[in-house]
Amino acid sequence: MKRAKSALISVFHKDGLGPIVEKLNDLGVTIYSTGGTETFIKNLGIEVVPVEDLTSYPSILGGRVKTLHPKVFGGILNRRDNEGDQAQLKEFEIPEMDIVIVDLYPFEKTVASGASEQDIIEKIDIGGISLIRAAAKNFKDVICVSSMEQYDEFLSIISENNGATTLAQRKSFAAKSFAVSSHYDTAIFNYLNDDEPVFRQSFNVSKQLRYGENPHQKGFFYGNLNELFDQLHGKELSFNNLLDVDAAVNLIKEFKGEAPTFAILKHNNACGFAQRETLAQAYLDALAGDPTSAFGGVLIANKEIDEATAKEIHSLFCEVVIAPSYSEAALQILKGKKNRILLVQKEVEFPNISYRTALNGVLAQEPNNITDTKEGLKNVTKRIVSDSEIEDLLFASKICKHTKSNTIILVKNKQLCAGGTGQTSRVDALEQAITKAKTFNFDLKGAVMASDAFFPFPDCVEIAGKVGIEAVIQPGGSIKDQLSIDYCDENNIGMVFTGTRHFKH
């Protein structure tokens, strides 16, 4: 145990600092400070020693240099059990600093506010980050409070122990300090970096999940879900819930601003999807796509869920429902199931890089931000696809883009008839989709087909043509494209190329 006799306080956020200062004063701890923090402490009626009096040097360069001085850092970094260090403290009249309390300039918030580059640069903390590193390094003798989020814990410790701290406590706060400093530097690097191909990511918010993909696996989420959702009801999101929610949010984003659209997802893939004049009908037609797989799925809508839609949803066991909003009547109905998770999705920007672990490293890539459009289609067959077919083809392509490869998507009248997902061959994916469509009594005559990649052989268009598929959308690019085109021409099938592959592994 070490009992503190002195403290250096230099913080940006003063909220919650008052009780700490008062407690330190009650304990007889000498307090050093500077700038706005010094003024704050004086206004509490508590004696404080200005750092300028200690260093005999004023704050200079508009406040950029205040605490960067040997008398400050010597007081923090000296080793109490080192005779040479202690002799130098006496020689240069340097007081020991037992506590360092810092709260850094809000760099990330300044960036997020859209401030000018000059304002952002001024929020890169120099003195504060240096104080944190010095105090955390010397945790054997010094305790470092590096963020306002730690104020309450620190106050509790010094209140219970009469101003003393244990080595374990000081080491714990040191670890927190380096977490703060490394996160801060990562944020600055990512703001300034334009071309360095290095991986730097840091999340201050984390959450331990009930378990990972399976109960015997530990699971964690690093990030702030509150930025993306308001949870109105239900249990906590699980690891698998989060994967499905991620897939659902990215899929429905393709249909923002369009007619009422409803999706049902299971294991990251859409098992039901439809667009209709009302959301209730969109839900019912999405459910018809695969009512078996919908059990325990994740539901998402691009419009407010109203009472009529909620009544239909309520009879289905589902894990999560996501929408931009809910009517009061809808909420009352959907809250009827205790564990059903209800999320309101907020308007936020998604990251411009996606990551996943692979082997002993990390894969990073830009998101697949290309959505196939009418203007980008190239008709390659004698039969020109109709406007209504183009609508279905683009509808199918959007779903295909967000379905695990190899994939085939079958759509008719803006309703997902079936999908073949995650297959090792495109023929297997198509046959899986056809089998599912027939299982749920879909007539595929007049339906359209989307493929996430080109057809290396004409077998897929042959199989599709035999069940009534009349239009196809695919990237093109195979050396044997002409074989597929020839079959379509011989059997009055329309086909368009997009030029864009949509693999999703």
> Catalytic residues, which ones?
137, 267
Rounded to an integer, what distance in angstroms lies between the CA atom of residue 12 and that of residue 109? 13
Rounded to an integer, what distance in angstroms lies between the CA atom of residue 41 and that of residue 33? 8
Rounded to an integer, what distance in angstroms lies between the CA atom of residue 287 and that of residue 273? 8
Q: How many other C-beta atoms are found inside a 10 Å radius of the C-beta of residue 70? A: 12
Rounded to an integer, what distance in angstroms lies between the CA atom of residue 452 and that of residue 290? 21
The amino acid present at 92, given as its one-letter code, is: F
Strand partners, 266: 269
Our CA angle for 173, 223, 115, nearest 5°, is 90
Rounded to an integer, what distance in angstroms lies between the CA atom of residue 16 and that of residue 34? 18
Rounded to an integer, what distance in angstroms lies between the CA atom of residue 451 and that of residue 407? 6
Rounded to an integer, what distance in angstroms lies between the CA atom of residue 129 and that of residue 106? 12
Is the separation of the CB atoms in 303 and 345 below 8 Å? no
Long-range CB contacts for residues 237-244, cutoff 8 Å, separation at least 24 = 237/209, 237/320, 237/341, 238/209, 238/210, 238/211, 239/209, 239/210, 239/211, 239/212, 239/213, 240/213, 241/298, 241/319, 241/320, 241/341, 242/209, 243/268, 244/268, 244/297, 244/298, 244/319, 244/320
Rounded to an integer, what distance in angstroms lies between the CA atom of residue 473 and that of residue 164? 71
Long-range CB contacts for residues 477-484, cutoff 8 Å, separation at least 24 = 477/501, 478/454, 480/455, 480/456, 481/380, 481/454, 481/455, 483/457, 483/458, 484/455, 484/457, 484/458, 484/460
